[in-house]
Structure 1
Amino acid sequence: MRADARKNYSHLLAVARDVISEHGVDASLRDIARKAGVGLGTLYRHFPTREALLEALLRANLDELTRRASELETMSSPDDALVSWFREAVGFTHSYSGVVNLMAAALADPDSALHASCTTVRSAGARLLQRAQAEGMARADLDGADLLALIGALAWVRDQFSFAPRADHLIDFIASAILTERPGSGATKR
Structure 2
Amino acid sequence: MRNHGVEAAGWEANLEKYVSTLKEYDYMVQRARESRDPFFATGEYLIDNLVLKRCLPPELLSQPLRKVNSVWEWETEGAKQLTIVGTRGANLSKTWVFNFRRRAVIAAVGGMFLVGPMWLMVLRSELITQLVATTVFVTGFGLLMAAFLDKDEAVLASTAAYAAVLVVFVGTSIGNDSGGVTR
Q: TM-score, normalised by structure 2?
A: 0.35
Using CA pairs below 8 Å that are at least 6 residues apart, which structure has the higher relative contact order? 1
More helix by share: 1
Q: TM-score, normalised by structure 1?
A: 0.34
